[in-house]
Amino acid sequence: KQEVTQIPAALSVPEGENLVLNCSFTDSAIYNLQWFRQDPGKGLTSLLLIQSSQREQTSGRLNASLDKSSGRSTLYIAASQPGDSATYLCAASPPPQGGSEKLVFGKGTKLTVNP
């Protein structure tokens, strides 16, 4: 059974710092790895999706990498801003069944960027 772990559970950094969030998964037979952002009391917003055949994806100040052999993904945030404060969740997707994807989520990393 796939298990996804995110370390650390919480992280506090000063504004402008570059930071890395970690995600590990136990079963390397994934279809894709997704990173989401969740603001308090809100739903999830998709940030990046890395297909199993890819090594990384970039969007603006965000860069996500994937190493299936070691069961790890990282989310790199450059030049952090107070608006980046949120909980970041990663989710691993097994090969889809009939077009649906049963994502397995980590518990998230709560990021606070201090002005």
Binding site for another protein (CB under 8 A): 4, 9, 31-32, 34, 36, 41-46, 49, 51, 89, 91, 93, 96-103, 105-108
Query: How far is Cα of residue 39 from the mean position of the Cα atoms in its chain?
Result: 14
Write down the least CB distance from residue 111 to another protein, Å. 15
Structural tokens at position 113: 């960027």
DSSP 2-13: --EEEE-SEEEE
Provide the 10 A C-beta neighbour count for residue 100: 8
What is the rounded distance in angstroms from the CA atom of residue 49 to the CA atom of residue 33? Answer: 6
* Residue number, 59 or 81, with CB nearest to another protein: 59
When the beta carbons of 18 and 59 are compared against another protein, the nearer one is: 59
Minimum CB distance to another protein, residue 85 (Å): 17
Residue 40 or 115 having the CB closest to another protein: 40
